């Protein structure tokens, strides 16, 4: 069995950097200090997490559709991909909390290690707060083999229905927020709970299968990029008019309703990769930073936390911009080290322990198998 390499669609690796940067700028703008002109545009940069959920579904479906692979090997590979770095960054986060004399919930840390923290509002930010999204990913991995088997075995009609259902589920979930009085509980239900985020992953799976079957993305790559930028620009007056604490405010909407735009962007980039057309996303350094994006996402908040403890918030304008740049570069350098010293070596070692021998006579009917 031959599984496509991680960079079979290199433009998606390049996009990973931009999505991670969006999340980093979101935290810098809200925690460190404001940069006029830039802060409003990235104020809802947590949408980068939505991008990664859609991307996860897309990449997994693209990689494993048509592969004959025991499901145990799939899960072993996903464990090797995310858990070693999660363990190390959680240890670093807890050590930093203790160094700064901050309170650490043993229960929350314990829940975070098996990636169960997002299922309870009091535990969602335990250990390394950024790792809540890995709890959602673990749920997606549990769904994936059955979801892929269902969608891959059926025709395009079911695929279209699944895509439409996923898209409609997003505004429906947002509107259901009106039924929840507490802003804190609403935030957990709409932003953290894996069940609510599942539609974003499903949308990614559907888009990958559609592109693999020869479908054309709804938008060109430039048009999709403009649509994503326009969405974040539209959030600026929405934020000025309505508070985030209101269910109809832009905070929850920004993360739920952006998924179709990110799906269009990912599909367009992948389609151009398949056609061998330029995307502007395959530069050497952009691909390198894209590969570091997982580590950057998990570690950047630790760097910000230490800086804020030592120096506090910075003045708006140029002082904040300089600090943004320094913290972004420092956390990126740390991410590069973690990628080289932890993420890649640990993943390679764990994957080698459960390698699958090549099978002769692959057929187009092969599927990700539930056989042990």
Q: If we measure between CA atoms, which residue out of 118, 18, 3, 93 comes closest to residue 338?
A: 93
Q: Which residue has the tokens 């030592």?
A: 310
Q: Which two structure tokens, joined as six digits, stand for 276?
A: 């061998």
Task: State which residues form the domain around 102.
Answer: 10-351
User: What is the C-alpha separation between 371 and 361, in angstroms, rounded?
Assistant: 18
Residue 364 included in any domain: no
> What sections of the chain are H helices per DSSP?
10-27, 39-42, 47-64, 71-99, 106-112, 132-152, 156-176, 183-187, 194-212, 221-241, 250-256, 259-275, 284-291, 293-311, 318-338, 344-353
Residue 370 included in any domain: no
Q: Are the beta carbons of 293 and 16 closer than 8 angstroms?
A: yes
Q: Are the beta carbons of 331 and 293 closer than 8 angstroms?
A: no
User: What is the C-alpha separation between 265 and 223, in angstroms, rounded?
Assistant: 8
Q: Which residue has the tokens 């025709």?
A: 155
User: What is the C-alpha separation between 253 and 269, in angstroms, rounded?
Assistant: 25
Backbone angles phi, psi at 84, to 5 degrees: -60, -45
Residue 360 included in any domain: no
Q: Can you give the pLDDT at residue 79?
A: 96
Q: Are the beta carbons of 306 and 43 closer than 8 angstroms?
A: no
User: What is the C-alpha separation between 315 and 303, in angstroms, rounded?
Assistant: 19
Residue 335 included in any domain: yes
User: What is the C-alpha separation between 342 and 364, in angstroms, rounded?
Assistant: 36
Q: Can you give the pLDDT at residue 362?
A: 37
Q: Can you give the pLDDT at residue 225?
A: 98
Residue 4 included in any domain: no
Residue 220 included in any domain: yes
Q: What CA dihedral angle connects 35, 37, 39 and 45, to 10 degrees? A: -140
Residue 209 included in any domain: yes
Q: Can you give the pLDDT at residue 356?
A: 52
Radius of gyration of the chain (CA): 20
User: What is the C-alpha separation between 78 and 315, in angstroms, rounded?
Assistant: 42
Residue 289 backbone class (left: φ over 0; alpha: ψ -120 to 50; beta: rest): alpha
Number of domains present in the structure of the chain:
1
Q: Can you give the pLDDT at residue 316?
A: 96
Q: If we measure between CA atoms, which residue out of 174, 232, 173, 167 comes closest to residue 204?
A: 167
Q: Are the beta carbons of 269 and 73 closer than 8 angstroms?
A: no
pTM: 0.93
Q: Are the beta carbons of 139 and 194 closer than 8 angstroms?
A: yes
Q: Can you give the pLDDT at residue 361?
A: 36
Q: How many CB atoms lie within 10 A of CB 228?
A: 20
Q: How many residues comprise the chain? A: 372
Tens of pLDDT along the chain (372 residues) come to: 333 344 489 999 999 999 999 999 999 999 999 999 999 999 999 999 999 999 999 999 999 998 888 999 999 999 999 999 999 999 999 999 999 999 999 999 999 999 999 999 999 999 999 999 999 999 999 999 999 999 988 888 999 999 999 999 999 999 999 999 999 999 999 999 999 999 999 999 999 999 999 999 999 999 999 999 999 999 999 999 999 888 899 999 999 999 999 999 999 999 999 999 999 999 999 999 999 999 999 999 999 999 999 999 999 999 999 999 999 999 999 999 999 999 999 999 999 886 554 443 333 333 443 332
Q: Can you give the pLDDT at residue 352?
A: 87
Q: How many CB atoms lie within 10 A of CB 199?
A: 22
């Amino acid at each position: 069995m031959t599984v496509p390499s991680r960079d079979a669609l290199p433009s998606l690796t390049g996009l990973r950097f931009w999505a991670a940067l969006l999340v980093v700028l979101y935290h810098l703008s809200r925690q460190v200090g404001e940069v006029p002109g830039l802060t409003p545009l990235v104020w809802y940069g947590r949408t980068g997490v939505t991008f990664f959920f859609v991307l996860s579904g897309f990449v997994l479906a693209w990689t494993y559709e048509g592969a004959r692979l025991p499901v145990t090997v799939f899960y072993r590979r996903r464990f090797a991909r995310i858990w070693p770095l999660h363990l190390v960054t959680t240890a670093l986060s807890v050590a930093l909390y203790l160094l700064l004399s901050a309170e650490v919930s043993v229960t929350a840390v314990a829940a975070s290690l098996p990636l169960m923290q997002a299922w309870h509002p009091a535990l969602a930010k335990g250990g390394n707060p950024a790792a809540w999204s890995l709890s959602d990913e673990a749920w997606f991995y549990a769904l994936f083999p059955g979801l892929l088997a269902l969608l891959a075995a059926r025709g395009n009609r079911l695929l279209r229905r699944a895509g439409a259902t996923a898209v409609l589920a997003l505004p429906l979930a947002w509107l259901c927020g009106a039924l929840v009085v507490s802003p804190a509980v609403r935030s957990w239900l709409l932003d953290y709970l894996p069940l609510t985020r599942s539609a974003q992953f499903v949308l990614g799976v559907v888009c990958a299968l559609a592109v693999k079957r020869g479908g054309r993305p709804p938008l060109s790559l430039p048009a999709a990029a403009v649509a994503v930028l326009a969405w974040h620009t539209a959030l600026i007056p929405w934020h000025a008019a309505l508070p985030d604490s209101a269910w109809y405010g832009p905070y929850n909407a920004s993360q739920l309703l952006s998924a179709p735009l990110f799906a269009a962007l990912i599909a367009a980039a992948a389609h151009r990769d398949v056609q061998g057309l330029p995307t502007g996303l395959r530069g050497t350094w952009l691909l390198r930073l894209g590969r570091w994006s997982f580590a950057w996402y998990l570690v950047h908040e630790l760097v910000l936390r230490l800086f804020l403890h030592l120096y506090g918030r910075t003045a708006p304008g140029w002082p904040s911009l300089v600090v943004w740049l320094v913290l972004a570069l420092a956390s990126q350098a740390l991410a590069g080290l973690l990628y080289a010293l932890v993420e890649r070596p640990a993943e390679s070692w764990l994957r080698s322990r459960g390698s699958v021998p090549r099978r002769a006579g692959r057929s187009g009917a092969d599927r990700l198998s539930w056989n042990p």
